[in-house]
Amino acid sequence: MNSRMEENPQPSYCPVGPESWCKWREVEGTLETFEHPPALDDAAREILKPIYDDLTAYDLLERYLGSNTQNNDESFNSCVWQLAPKHEFAGKKIVDVATYCAVCTFNEGFTAILKVMNIKARAH
């Protein structure tokens, strides 16, 4: 979290050229000079830094690996509704099959579906 771009410029992450949304890169290659406006004053930075650090802590972010959410029920429901979208009509049988498939993939990944279909996983 850097409040002064002049101290640590990172234009390499921005697209190059006069059409760039990055003002630094837009001016690059011309005779003009560019000075960044201050992003945050020091008081705001001191208030926001602990929040930023907490939200980017490794142990918090680790929970979201594999596209899971913090709430397992919400993540499971998402698996079901990917197979039987709510905006399309699906009868009980379709929702049941979608639920069975979601249970398999949620608990064991797609190899569980291969087991049900009696297909051996192999290198391709």
pLDDT tens, residue by residue, 14-56: 777 777 777 777 777 677 777 777 777 888 889 989 998 888 8
In this predicted model, what pLDDT tens digit does every residue of 66-118 receive, in sequence order?
A: 655 556 667 788 889 888 988 888 889 999 999 999 998 888 888 888 888 88
- With b for 16 or more beta-carbon neighbours within 10 A and e for fewer, the 15-37 pattern comes to eeeeeeebeebbebeeeeeeeee
The pTM score is: 0.39
- 10 Å Cβ neighbour count for 103? 14
Largest Cα–Cα distance of the chain, in whole Å?
68
Determine phi and psi for 104, rounding to 5 degrees.
Answer: -60, -55
Closest CA to 15 of 2, 6, 5, 24: 24
